[in-house]
Chain A
Amino acid sequence: MQRLFLFLYNYRAFLTFLLLEVFCGWLIVRNNNYQGAKYFNSSAAVSANLLETSRSVHEYLNLKEVNEVLAMENARLQKQVEQYKQSLYNLDIRQSHDIDVLNQYNFISAKVINNSTRRFDNYITINKGLKQGIEPGMAVIDNLGIVGKVKNVSEHYSVITSILHVNTLISSKLRSTGDLCTTKWDGIDPTMAEVLYLPRHVAISIGDSVVTSGYNAVFPENIPVGVVESFEKTEDALFYSVKIRLASNLNKLSYVYLVKNNMKIEQDSIQNITFEK
């Protein structure tokens, strides 16, 4: 027994080293899971407050640009409202009867207080949380296209896994033909992404837009993902290799919208029942 203690004492430095590294490894693995560590991240009160302060300084620098974008968005929304008003005259009255379908999606706007785009796993912190009805798994978009998914939520802040994250997969489709595919970031350029599993027979061309498919109850249908920048069809591959330019500019993110799908539970549960049988 004494020998054991002597051994432990002699190698105490190395053993402490191993212990700390194993603990770090456990943290890394746990944090990589979809809804991992809840308390130690940038949505915690102290760190989020600090980041918000530092962000408020940055904000003055691009105030003008943000204003312009918001004004543009206002104009676009105004136009859309007008269009819907017009089209409602001819709408089948039975279709608009189901209030649940009409109100399927709620939009909550939030301010970005921390953002990164050049790392391998990028996260965004926003200034709304549990109190404002944010839940893990909600979709995040801005006025140009998709941004990411909510990962962790605290009382007043939340952390978003941005689309620039090696583990984020977005179920998407080609707008022109409707063919299903998956969008994934390649880890290098924060303005580009790859489209996977697009079958060879599909006719695509440069400039086609890729949008969300709406198949997974997170993102609503037809939110822009990106525009095809280049594509290649190699001899022996089953799928195209396609590069798209992302629709939203994540470098200049300042305001985002969180999408709450009120029928998510219903859609998920009926899908689960089908898969289980």
Chain B
Amino acid sequence: MITNRLIIQFVSFFAYVLVQVMFLQNVVLFDKSFCFLYIAFLLLLPVDMGVIGLMVLGFITGFTVDIFYDTLGIHAASSVLIMFIRNYWLNMITPQGGYDSGSMPSIELNGWQWFLGYVLPLILIHHIVLFYISSSGFGLFWFTLSKALLSTLFTAVVIMIVQYIFYRKRIT
């Protein structure tokens, strides 16, 4: 059972990163809105995973994406940050009855409202950190902020769509 889950995570890591660097890297909406779907992989890691493991995985994932984006360190830094705060945030929004050990915090766990409330703040933090680091400062404050907000929307919508396509079937 455990190896089974490991294989799923391993495959989904490659799937998310490949889609990110081969397809989504070339997608920009309204000149401002980017999609960083790969963080869904990090957000969907099992709830009982230790924070150190999360951060190491966050670093590896971010670093891999960085290699293709030629932005060494930027995606890694923001991914490590959201992985650090993820468990605190999950504890704060624990649903009634708590989490089963080893469950994925996906849409099948608690419905889409809970899931959206879980991912949206983390995506927002990730994108704000990402865009302000890559603009190297607050020189273009409003422009950067608008980029971060629009990208948050885009990423969230795509993550929801992926959830409905790939993770929903286990509900029924």
Q: Which residues of A contact B (CB under 8 A)?
A: 12-13, 16-17, 20-21, 23-28, 30-32, 36-37, 40-42, 44, 47, 50-51, 53-54, 58, 114, 116, 118-121, 123, 125, 159, 166, 187-188
Among B91-99, B110-118, B131-139, B158-166, the stretch in contact with A: B131-139
Q: List 18 A-B contacts (CB under 8 A).
A: A13-B50, A13-B51, A16-B52, A17-B51, A26-B73, A31-B71, A42-B69, A47-B21, A47-B68, A53-B22, A54-B26, A58-B26, A114-B25, A118-B34, A119-B69, A120-B131, A120-B136, A188-B140
**Complex Cα–Cα for A21 and B32 (A):** 27
Are the C-beta atoms of B143 and A188 separated by less than 8 Å?
yes
Assuming the contacts A25-B73, A28-B72, A118-B32, asked whether A20 and B22 have C-beta atoms less than 8 A apart, the reply is: no
**Cβ–Cβ < 8 Å partners of B136 in chain A:** 32, 120, 166
**Number of interface residues, chain B, beta carbon within 8 A:** 39
Inter-chain contact total with CB atoms closer than 8 Å: 107
- For B132, give the chain A residue with the smallest CB separation: A120
- For A20, give the chain B residue with the smallest CB separation: B80
**Scoring B residues 46 to 60 as 1 if CB is less than 8 Å from chain A, else 0, what string do you get?**
000011100110010
Beyond the given pairs A16-B55, A27-B66, A31-B72, 4 more chain A to chain B contacts, judged by CB atoms under 8 angstroms and listed by A's residue number, are A13-B84, A17-B51, A44-B67, A47-B68
Q: Which residues of B in the span 17-35 have a Cβ within 8 Å of any Cβ on A?
A: 21-23, 25-26, 28, 31-32, 34
**Cβ–Cβ < 8 Å partners of A30 in chain B:** 72
Identify which of B66, B80, B135 contacts A17 (C-beta below 8 A): B80
B100 at the interface (CB under 8 A from A): no
Q: Which residues of B contact A (CB under 8 A)?
A: 21-23, 25-26, 28, 31-32, 34, 50-52, 55-56, 59, 62-63, 66-74, 76-77, 80-81, 84, 131, 133-136, 139-140, 143
Identify which of B72, B80, B135 contacts A37 (C-beta below 8 A): B72
**Cβ–Cβ < 8 Å partners of A121 in chain B:** 70-71, 134
**Complex Cα–Cα for A47 and B134 (A):** 21
